[in-house]
Structure formats: C-alpha cells, structure tokens
Structure 1
C-alpha cells in the first residue's frame, strides 16, 4: 500500500480520534456522557468542549477534499514523491489542527488548516504537474 493510501486510512481514523476530546468533554458534564442524546448534549457544551466539537466537525468536513485528491493522484497514476509528502502534510496538519483548536491556539490552528487545505488542493491538481 502506498504512503498516500496509508495517509487516507489514517485520515479516516481521525474521524474517530478527533471525537475523543469531545467525548471527554461530554463525560465531564453533569450526568456524564449522554448516549441517548449526544448531539443535544454537544450543543450545550462550552469552552474547550465546544472547541473539541468544532474540531471534530471540521475534520469530517475536510476529509472529502483530501480523499478526492488522493484518489485523483492514484487514478491518474501520478508517481511523484510529492504526492506522498502532500498526504503526510495533510495528516500532520490535521492532527495539529485538532490539538490547537481544543487548546485554543487560534493562530497556529489557522496556519495548519491552510497547510492541510492546500495539500488537498495540490493533490487534486497533481495530474497537471505529476
């Protein structure tokens, strides 16, 4: 399996991993984690829990563009090593994004978001330069 496919797999796992801080925040609420109404409970979060919820949602939102970019590179048989580096850059930026968002480090969060976004766009354009 190629590096970019492993990164696609890891990015898929980030859907679940990005939810861990959110679940922790919900568990700390009065009554603990509400498995019957988790979305209602999420809506009432504040502070770092609310940011954890936003980080989780943003991870889900960013995944399709990255997945499309990896698949475009694979289907068009782009063999440039840059494709692997871009995929790695996306995964690292997304992990950092979640950490920075939950910890409320907004400038760094925005910077790593841009890195991940442009890595995805570059993957989509990879047949043009690959």
Structure 2
C-alpha cells in the first residue's frame, strides 16, 4: 500500500450558529512523503490544502505552525487547525484521535527520517525543468 486515505469530520468554527461539520478527505502518498492533503472540494471548488506531516505530528502534542497553517491541541480530545487563505482564516476542530490514527498509518508506511528514500527525485527534476 503506497497511500493512506481516510475521511474525517471537521467542525468549521464560525463563532455563531453557522458552524457546521465538514467531511474532509485526508490522503498521504509515499511518493510525497512530507505532505498530507486535505480535500475540501465537496464544499468549495479547488479547496485542497497540503499540510506538512511533521507539523501535524507536532501539533498533536503542542501548538505548532507558522504562516498559513497553525495547529493547537484543544480540550484533550481535539485539535484546532487554522488555515489562512485569500478569503480569511478558517478555524477547524478535528478529533485528535482520528488524526493520530491517520498519522500512525502514515508513519508505518514511511517512518520519519526515511522520507528522502521515497521521493522520486528524477520525476521532481523533470517536473521542475518542464515548468
């Protein structure tokens, strides 16, 4: 298996009664070992975020992130993920256990520190030269 996928329900926090649950597809590919993809396209066209796996692993235990993505443990059972985009900041609450199980599966597939062995350097160079 070269890919880990799951669907996790995330709560979009708006601070009012418009908060709602979103079923978000999470995916991890061994060929892109540093990134976890969150696919929100069923709610907004083109809404796919690539988050650092290391950032997610760190965010399980302590506030982490800089720039457009921040992750903070919240109430022992959830994580808060803040995603800053052109339209503002989306604050999402997600069950920490579901994220931990997903990340554990990615670690079994590609252990931390072994990511370099899974990167297709030739393809990456071809993509870079084609751009």
The reply to whether TM is greater than 0.5 is no
Query: Greater share of helix residues, 1 or 2?
Result: 1
* TM-score, structure 2 as length reference: 0.26
* TM-score, structure 1 as length reference: 0.27
Q: Which has the higher contact order (CA 8 A, sep 6+)?
A: 1
